[in-house]
């Protein structure tokens, strides 16, 4: 799963840092390289750990909620219309190189858009039914 993907990303980032260190200093300090890798990857790996806990919670309780299912359908529709801008969290995590913490932040912004869109839609529908 994502743990393996994160390990591959760690290896890729380590390689990129290694190349950068060789270009900039023409030498390697492995202790510094390890610290730099930790500093660079910690936000993403911490977010991955949080995502795992949230995913467990979602799978355990939210998947039977009609509101949750509606939100996922709306998310899918918006993603189909604007796939280059709006992507579900799963898509960002599984199919892009967007760091986990950036994907989480983007997903939170997108969830606000969905929530507000559903609120406006509900309000509009409610007002039209009263009219």
Q: What is the pLDDT of residues 84-125, one digit of tens each?
A: 778 888 889 988 889 999 999 999 998 898 888 878 888 898
Kindly tell me the sign of the dihedral angle through the C-alpha atoms of 53, 51, 117, 67.
negative
| pLDDT per residue as tens digits for the range 4-60 | 989 999 999 999 999 999 999 888 889 999 999 999 999 999 999 998 888 887 777
The end-to-end CA distance of the chain, in Å, is: 51
Kindly tell me the sign of the dihedral angle through the C-alpha atoms of 82, 84, 86, 90.
positive
| pLDDT per residue as tens digits for the range 57-77 | 777 777 777 877 887 888 888
Is the Cβ–Cβ distance between 80 and 86 less than 8 Å? no
> What's residue 122's pLDDT?
84
Report the alpha-carbon distance of residue 28 to residue 45 in Å, rounded: 25
> What's residue 31's pLDDT?
93
Report the alpha-carbon distance of residue 40 to residue 10 in Å, rounded: 9
pTM over 0.75? The answer is no
Cα distances (Å, whole numbers) of residue 17 to 27, 32, 35, 48 = 12, 10, 11, 21
> What's residue 64's pLDDT?
75
Report the alpha-carbon distance of residue 131 to residue 127 in Å, rounded: 6
pLDDT at 131 > cutoff 80: no
Report the alpha-carbon distance of residue 56 to residue 37 in Å, rounded: 28
């Amino acid at each position: 799963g994502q743990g393996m993907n994160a390990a591959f990303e760690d290896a890729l980032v380590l390689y990129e840092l290694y190349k950068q260190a060789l270009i900039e200093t023409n030498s390697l300090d492995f202790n510094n390289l390890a610290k730099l890798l930790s500093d660079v990857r910690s936000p993403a790996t911490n977010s991955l750990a949080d995502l795992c806990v949230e995913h467990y919670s979602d799978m355990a309780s939210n998947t039977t909620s009609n509101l949750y299912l509606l939100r996922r359908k709306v998310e899918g529709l918006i993603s189909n219309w604007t796939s280059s801008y709006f992507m579900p969290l799963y898509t960002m995590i599984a199919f892009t190189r967007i760091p986990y913490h950036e994907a989480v932040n983007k997903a939170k912004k997108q969830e606000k858009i969905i929530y507000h869109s559903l609120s406006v839609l509900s309000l509009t529908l409610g007002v039209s039914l009263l009219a």
